[in-house]
Structure formats: C-alpha cells, structure tokens
Amino acid sequence: MTEALAEVRDLTMRFGGLTALDGLNMTIRAGEVLGLLGPNGSGKTTFFNVLTGLYKATSGTITYAGTNLIGKTPQEVYRAGVARTFQRSRLSLPLTVFDNIVIGDYQRMDHGLVFNLLRRKAFRAQYDQYVEKVLALLRIFSPPLADRLFEPVDTFSMIDRRRIEVCRALISQPRLLLLDEPSAGMTHDETHALMRDILDVRAQLGNLTVVLIEHEMNVIERITDRCVVLNYGRKIAEGTYAQITADPAVQTAYLGEDAA
C-alpha cells in the first residue's frame, strides 16, 4: 500500500455551538488524487482551512510528513509543502499572469527595500529566474498562457483564470495540492479541459498529491483514485468512486431519506 503523506486523527472543529468537523479520521496517501465529497455544509472547506492553518482545530491532529500541522501558521504550512486554491477567485485582475503566479511563491522571494533598491543585479537575476520558472510551469500546464505572460488577467476567460490560480499554487512546488471546487463558474467542457490539464501536470511533476473538492460527479469519477465522503463533519464513506456511489449512506446524504 502507498505510504501515507498525511494522517488525520480525531479532528474536531467547533464554532461556538456548531460542530463543523466531528472526530474526523482519514488518510491522504502520497501520490494519489483524493476526492473530498459531501453535501453543502458537510465540512469540506473547513477541513482545508484547518489543514492550511487558517483555522485552529478544537482538538485532534493532522500529521503531515511526520509533523503535526495543528497550531502551525499558514506560512509554516506553506513552507512544509502544502498549497491550495479557493472556490472564489483570489486573482488580482489588473495584474499580469506573471505577477499573479509569482505571488504564490512570495515567501521565498527577497523583497525587502534594501534588496530591491540597492542590490539591483541580484534583484534582476531573481526576476529572470522567476520568469523562467513561471514559463516552465505554464509550458507544462497550458502552453498558450506562456505566450501571454505579461498580459493582465482581466483579459482572460474563466478557464484560463482557473489555470492561472492552479499555477500560482504550483509555483511553490508543493507536495500536497488542495483544490477547492476548481470547476466553479465554468462550463462542462471547460471543466473537463481543466481536469485534463491537472492530470497532465501531475503526471509530469511526478510526486504531487492532490485533494479535490468537487460537486461534478463525472469529474470525480474520471480524476480520482479514491474518495472520502463527509456529512455533518463526519466521514460516512471511503473508497473508489464506484464504491462510494453505491453506498446507501452516501445516497441518503445527497438525495434524502428516500434514497435507499
């Protein structure tokens, strides 16, 4: 069996009287594409927010690459090799493709005033390195975007904006990539094209693990190796797409009490 990249144990997240995650246990295996499913409000995005340090869990652990991430800052989680996208676009539309992508690696950049003003040769060398790094990523993920590197993002279609957001997460060379409903706002054909791009870049990068929140079930069927289904913050099913869609508990959670 493939080794575990992350182990989630007894993870609980409460907001006052609301329990968003309730004793969650799950494993993220190295190199897999894991689908994280569940009805709206089931705790999927909350899990991402806890894993990436935006929320501090009430109790439980997330052991990633041997380190418990609970209590770590988002910056520390990022430096450990975890990157994410958000359901709602976080791009700065007036900025260029290059600017939006390189922001994803800002913590590794030298961007102090002294460096930028007084060490001009070093600044230029770093800039040139990032241009090559961004171009190399775009040539893998979406070659046409590489030809429009310095155009503002507001001139691009929705699918290209999503591609740019994924590249911004990938620029830091993470081991674990979290995708929160990447197909939101896109057509059926655009969704399939984006998922094909994600599979292609994952194949070329080699060691990338992906956790995907997605409501398009045909996408989940096509792209995932395994799925975990949440309802009211609890895991109710785990297995392949075929296994979880045949599970009565999953059918009930999605379709109501009469589904069985």
Instruction: Write down all domains in the chain, each with its CATH number in brackets.
Output: 1-81+174-260 (3.40.50.300), 92-173 (no CATH)
pLDDT in the model for residue 211: 97
> What is the rounded CA–CA span in Å between residue 150 and residue 40?
38
**Helix locations, the chain, DSSP H:** 44-51, 74-80, 97-102, 113-118, 120-141, 143-146, 158-170, 188-205, 217-223, 241-245, 248-255
For residue 31, what are the contacts with CB-CB under 8 A and spacing of at least 6?
2, 5, 207, 208, 209
pLDDT in the model for residue 199: 87
pLDDT in the model for residue 260: 36
End-to-end CA distance of the chain: 33
pLDDT in the model for residue 53: 96
Global pTM? 0.90
pLDDT in the model for residue 254: 81
pLDDT in the model for residue 259: 40
pLDDT in the model for residue 111: 58
pLDDT in the model for residue 117: 58
Question: Edge-to-edge strand order for the sheet containing 226-231?
Answer: 82-84, 176-180, 209-213, 33-37, 226-231, 234-239
Give the chain's residues under pLDDT 50: 258-260
